[in-house]
Amino acid sequence: MGELILIRHGQTEWSLSGRHAGRTDIPLTDAGEATAKSLAPRLARRHLAAVFSSPLSRAVRTAELAALTDVRADPDLLEWDYGGYEGLTAAQIQEARPGWDLWRDGVMPGDAAHPGEQLQQVGARTDAVLDRIRPLLADGDVAVVAHGHLARVLTVRWLGLDASAGRLLGHPHPGTLSFLATEEEQPFVAAWNVP
């Protein structure tokens, strides 16, 4: 059985400054492009049965620079829709909502482009992704290029935990790899946030 390889897209200006970039299409920085290129040799050693990516350009470009081929864009891999918090840092949100925690308190509705999404909706999307990926793992590894919060939710759903358990994982750094596997049919995290 193959492993599910989670790739967080390379650095963007917003990831560098800590701004919530859900559905806003932010390009990679020069450093983000360099990091994405550096992933290619490690990924080239893997037998990839399939590759999926968020349709946002920061993920698509990361896949391209990492020399991944036959990449399938999957809208279920879009980042959490942060609604009215799109573009804000956690500190800015906490100025208006002291003690705010994304995992506990969620987001407030935004405009038509960023209506907002509840955690359980993100969990349902990642469940749909996992339902499509699990059968493919019989043929090798599957790579997924996506986003930080989405990767955390997908990982805990892989483990059979509630989506809120995503708070227990550190936020993956841009341009890092994480590996999800099974042993005796039990899911586990083989590695997390590997540069």
Q: What is the domain partition of the chain in residue ranges?
A: 4-79+118-194
According to the model, what pLDDT value does residue 55 have? 98
CA dihedral (181, 126, 134, 165) in degrees, to 10, reads: 30
According to the model, what pLDDT value does residue 71 have? 98
According to the model, what pLDDT value does residue 104 have? 96
- Give me the active site residues, please: 9, 79
CATH fold for the domain made of 4-79+118-194: Rossmann fold (3.40.50)
According to the model, what pLDDT value does residue 2 have? 97
What's the pLDDT band for 146 if we cut at 50, 70, 90? very high
Task: Give pTM, 2 decimals.
Answer: 0.97
pLDDT, tens only, 111-140: 999 999 999 999 999 999 999 999 999 999
Q: Taking every pair of C-alpha atoms in the chain, what is the biggest distance, in angstroms?
A: 49
Report residue 58 as tokens. 């920061």
What's the pLDDT band for 7 if we cut at 50, 70, 90? very high
